[in-house]
């Protein structure tokens, strides 16, 4: 009996089967369930959300291993999923971050209130810095509009096509710089003084390289800066999710199940079943086979096609795109349990008295040193210093830790992910000490407050979440694999060369970030293709009847 014949005798049979219960997989499942389809989500872990999930790592704490803050969502996404009316409580941040660039440097405070932010930049860094900030955001606006980072239900264009379609030579030159130049090619135009603008230069350079395997002087890093500074309605404000960012995914599970869909955890898919170049179901690790009209993978391209479809060769053009995808996880993620709230150094004592100022920060280095850290990383060496993103989320949400305790987290960048695996344990230990030392430059009592800690590198992200090389971006934000180049089949966002198989994760446009757009867009594309197939069948039937 062939697999297709088995489908008639195997039950249940679903309209759509989604592999991976990350936020995009659940976003796709919610849309399909709302449109009357029977859906099944299979998640290999015992929690949902993937790299935007919440679970206990340190005893008694709710920890996030991956994303931690909610950045602006497109209006269409906010309205559609309506998280706040589905059990999610959002916490505004009066201070979104306090950035540092050297223990003696001036803190760059990102207040939620734009007037307070502008005034503080003016007072702390001078008129030229404030003007530079305004002009930088203005410069980024046009290229950000062209990349459509927040546009729903629209297949992306290729970068070269976007540049070619620019209306004026000036715009074309601006897009060339934004998409192909380095971050510092852009930043130098607005913050040229290495001393006066030190903190702003370091902060903007760090913003440009957190999600890409490049240094701030490396060509192509400008595109990541554009992505980071792209805004959607709310002015780029970020918020915390009470109870952890995993509450967003848990809310979607409740919506799916209320609509009659299923979400099964601790279910590992072994392979995608294909017959006559058509995906028809999956085989589980335990040998069970489950069939569906549509298969949707929330995994990245290599994990899907070289993992779940390892025995299914693709045409050369598609295979080369999968094989050529760059996936690098040059980071470590540390979690801390603290038996108190750390204080800033005495010379920055005013920060201890500003509401929310101890919530989070970026502790960075000058762009030149950042570039040398990247160059050490690609050689398999530890950086001279680890620039890092840091948070104490319990400052805004004490429910995340037992009474009297706080949790903190830090992402350290330019960990040598290409180093031999036998060395990575020792390298992680060194990275942990470097991170704690860096934090302690600004919070001297931080180390003494640590009562428990854990560290994860890209190796762990690969095993925990199935991300190739632990790359949480599902494909580095390099110009040659962004926007239209992120798609496998031209003119579509999620279609693959295998019939009835779609991709819905961050390997699709608009890429990484907790935006829900890849999943949302994928579901609409699935329904569009199903409608086209129904129309074709109706036409064929009418032709036969005639």
Of 430, 447, 466, which residue constitutes the final position of a domain? 466
Tens of pLDDT, residues 345-393: 999 999 999 999 999 999 999 999 999 999 999 999 999 999 999 999 9
CB 374 within 8 A of CB 221: no
Q: Pick from 332, 296, 301, 539: which is nearest to 416 by CA?
A: 332
In a domain, residue 105? The reply is no
Of 440, 466, 492, which residue constitutes the final position of a domain? 466
Q: Which of 139-143, 530-534, 542-546 has the highest mean pLDDT?
A: 139-143
User: Same structural domain for residues 293 and 335?
Assistant: no
In this prediction, residue 5 carries a pLDDT of 55
In this prediction, residue 530 carries a pLDDT of 86
User: Same structural domain for residues 286 and 397?
Assistant: no
Domain extent, residue 441, equals 328-466
User: Same structural domain for residues 259 and 308?
Assistant: yes
Dihedral sign, Cα of residue 301, residue 305, residue 307, residue 308: positive
User: Same structural domain for residues 460 and 335?
Assistant: yes
> CA–CA separation, 229 vs 226, rounded Å?
5
User: Same structural domain for residues 332 and 433?
Assistant: yes
Question: If DSSP codes are grouped into helix, strand and coil, which group holds residue 309?
Answer: coil
Mean pLDDT over 134-149 rounds to 93
C-alpha separations of 441 from 9, 173, 192, 342, 434 in Å: 65, 42, 27, 12, 11
In this prediction, residue 539 carries a pLDDT of 46
Q: Which residue has the tokens 């859906």?
A: 39
CB 361 within 8 A of CB 390: yes
Indicate the DSSP class of residue 168. Answer: S
Mean pLDDT over 475-489 rounds to 93
In this prediction, residue 262 carries a pLDDT of 98
In this prediction, residue 232 carries a pLDDT of 66
Of 466, 483, 517, which residue constitutes the final position of a domain? 466
User: Same structural domain for residues 252 and 374?
Assistant: no
* Long-range pairs of 398-402 with CB within 8 A, sequence gap ≥ 24: 399/62, 399/242, 399/243, 400/61, 400/62, 400/63, 400/243, 400/244, 401/60, 401/61, 401/62, 401/337, 402/60, 402/61
> CA–CA separation, 351 vs 245, rounded Å?
26
Specify burial of residue 235 (Cβ count, 10 A radius: 0-12, 13-18, 19+). exposed
In this prediction, residue 545 carries a pLDDT of 56
Q: In terms of pLDDT, which residue wins out, 47 or 10?
A: 47
The pLDDT mean for the chain works out to 93
Which of 95-104, 234-243, 337-346, 436-445 is predicted with the least confidence, judged by mean pLDDT? 234-243
User: Same structural domain for residues 386 and 403?
Assistant: yes
C-alpha separations of 95 from 102, 116, 226, 344, 354 in Å: 20, 10, 22, 15, 8
User: Same structural domain for residues 458 and 472?
Assistant: no
User: Same structural domain for residues 346 and 452?
Assistant: yes
In a domain, residue 500? The reply is yes
User: Same structural domain for residues 420 and 358?
Assistant: yes
**pTM, to two decimals:** 0.94
Residue 518: give its domain's CATH number.
3.50.50.60
Whether pLDDT at 482 is above 60:
yes
Count of the separate structural domains present in the chain: 2
Per-residue confidence band for 534, with pLDDT thresholds at 50, 70 and 90: low
Dihedral sign, Cα of residue 275, residue 281, residue 286, residue 288: negative
Which residue spans within 233-268 are E strands per DSSP?
239-241, 262-265
User: Same structural domain for residues 457 and 482?
Assistant: no
Q: Pick from 4, 387, 18, 79: which is nearest to 205 by CA?
A: 387
Q: Which residue has the tokens 């470590």?
A: 332
- Percent of the chain at pLDDT > 70 equals 94
> CA–CA separation, 128 vs 227, rounded Å?
24
- Percent of the chain at pLDDT > 90 equals 88
In a domain, residue 106? The reply is no
> CA–CA separation, 269 vs 261, rounded Å?
18
In a domain, residue 10? The reply is yes
Tens of pLDDT, residues 152-202: 999 899 999 999 999 999 999 999 999 999 999 999 999 999 999 999 999
C-alpha separations of 443 from 99, 134, 142, 500 in Å: 13, 31, 39, 53
Structure-block tokens of residue 52: 């935007």
User: Same structural domain for residues 267 and 317?
Assistant: yes
Whether pLDDT at 269 is above 90:
yes
Tens of pLDDT, residues 397-416: 999 999 999 999 999 999 99
């Amino acid at each position: 009996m062939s697999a297709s014949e088995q489908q008639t005798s195997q039950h249940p049979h679903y309209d759509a089967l989604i592999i991976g219960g990350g936020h995009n997989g659940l976003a796709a499942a919610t849309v399909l369930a709302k449109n009357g389809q029977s859906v099944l989500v299979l998640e290999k872990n015992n929690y949902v959300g993937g790299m935007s999930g919440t679970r206990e790592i340190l005893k008694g704490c709710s920890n996030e291993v991956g994303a931690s803050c909610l950045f602006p969502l497109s209006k269409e996404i906010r309205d559609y999923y309506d998280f706040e009316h589905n059990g999610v409580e959002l916490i505004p941040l009066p201070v979104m971050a306090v950035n540092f660039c050297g223990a003696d440097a001036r803190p760059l405070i990102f207040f939620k209130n734009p007037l307070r932010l502008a005034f503080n930049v003016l007072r702390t860094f001078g008129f030229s810095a404030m003007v530079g900030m305004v002009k930088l955001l203005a410069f980024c606006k046009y290229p950000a509009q062209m990349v459509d980072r927040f546009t729903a239900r629209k297949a992306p264009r290729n970068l070269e096509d976007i540049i070619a379609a620019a209306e004026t030579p000036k715009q074309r030159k601006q897009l060339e710089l934004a998409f192909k130049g380095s971050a510092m090619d852009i930043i130098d135009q607005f913050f040229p003084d290495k001393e006066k603008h030190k903190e702003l230069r370091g902060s903007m350079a760090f913003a440009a390289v957190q999600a890409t395997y490049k240094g701030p002087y490396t060509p192509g890093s400008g595109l990541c800066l554009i992505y980071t500074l792209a805004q959607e309605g709310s002015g780029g404000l970020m918020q915390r999710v009470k109870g952890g960012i995993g509450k967003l995914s848990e809310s979607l599970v409740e919506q799916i199940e209320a609509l009659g869909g299923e979400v099964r955890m601790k279910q590992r898919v072994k392979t995608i079943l294909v017959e006559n170049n058509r995906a028809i179901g999956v085989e589980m690790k335990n040998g069970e086979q489950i069939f569906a009209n549509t298969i949707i993978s929330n995994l990245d391209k290599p994990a899907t096609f070289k993992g779940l479809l390892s025995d299914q060769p693709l045409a050369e053009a598609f295979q080369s795109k999968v094989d050529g995808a760059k996936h690098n996880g040059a980071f470590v993620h540390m979690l801390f349990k603290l038996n108190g709230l750390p204080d800033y150094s005495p010379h920055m004592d005013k920060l201890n008295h500003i509401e929310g100022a101890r919530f989070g920060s970026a502790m960075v280095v000058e762009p030149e040193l950042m570039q040398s850290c990247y160059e050490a990383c690609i050689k398999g060496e530890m950086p001279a210093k680890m620039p890092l993103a840091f948070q104490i989320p319990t400052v805004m949400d004490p429910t995340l830790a037992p009474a009297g305790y706080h949790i903190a987290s830090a992402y350290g960048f330019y960990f040598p992910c290409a180093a031999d695996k036998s060395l990575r344990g020792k390298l992680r230990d060194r990275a942990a000490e470097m991170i704690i030392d860096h934090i302690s430059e600004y919070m001297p009592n931080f180390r003494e407050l640590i009562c428990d800690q854990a560290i994860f590198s890209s190796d762990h992200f690969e095993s925990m979440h199935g991300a190739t090389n632990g790359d949480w971006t599902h494909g580095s934000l390099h110009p040659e694999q962004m926007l239209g180049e992120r798609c496998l089949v031209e003119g579509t966002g999620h279609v693959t060369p295998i019939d009835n198989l779609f991709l819905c994760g961050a390997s699709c446009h608009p890429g990484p970030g907790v935006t829900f757009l890849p999943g949302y867009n994928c579901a609409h594309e699935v329904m569009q293709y199903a409608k086209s197939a129904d129309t074709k069948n109706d036409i064929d039937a009418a032709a036969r009847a005639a």
